[in-house]
Amino acid sequence: MRYNRKESFRFAFKKPLEAAFKIYELNGREVNSHPGKALMHDLSPSGTKMSSQLNLPVSNLDEPVKIHLQFMLNEVVYEMKAELVWKRASGDEFHYGVHFYASDDVKEDIVKQLKQYVKRV
């Protein structure tokens, strides 16, 4: 897998990765939600597409829903702050576009781990 730092890419998983999330900000207010389960269908250094059976209130993009997202890739645990940028209903679940608030170092580490993942799969 080649990676050009100026181009964005998204790796689609054949088997989605398990993830957990908690809402920490909703409508501009700090909250502490119960944890929710999700599946990550793809991953890029700047975000992911995840699905959940929970119907999260993604409608006001002026004040996005902010979450803590936790997932593991190649035995490396990531705990990311992120925001939900879109939502689509699909049957009995919902798909969400997630944008990470991540440093360049974390983004580079995700690329490194994705390269290792591709070699193993």
Assigned domain for 79 exists = yes
- CATH number reported for the structural domain that contains residue 38 in this entry: 2.40.10.220
The three-class DSSP label of residue 88 is strand
Assigned domain for 7 exists = no
Assigned domain for 2 exists = no
- Asked whether the predicted pLDDT for residue 117 surpasses 70, the reply is yes
Model confidence pLDDT, tens digit, residues 6-55: 446 789 999 999 999 999 998 889 998 999 999 999 999 999 999 999 99
- Asked whether the predicted pLDDT for residue 3 surpasses 70, the reply is no
Assigned domain for 6 exists = no
Mean pLDDT of 78-82: 96
| Number of domains forming the structure of the chain | 1
Assigned domain for 20 exists = yes
The three-class DSSP label of residue 89 is strand
Assigned domain for 3 exists = no
Cα 95 to Cα 29, 34, 64, 65, 113: the distances in Å are: 23, 19, 16, 14, 24
Model confidence pLDDT, tens digit, residues 56-67: 888 766 788 999
Residue type for position 93:
E
- Tell me what pLDDT residue 1 has: 42
Asked whether the CA dihedral 86, 47, 18, 37 is positive or negative, the reply is negative
Please give the residue range of the domain that contains residue 33.
12-120
- Asked whether the predicted pLDDT for residue 5 surpasses 60, the reply is no
- Tell me what pLDDT residue 120 has: 83
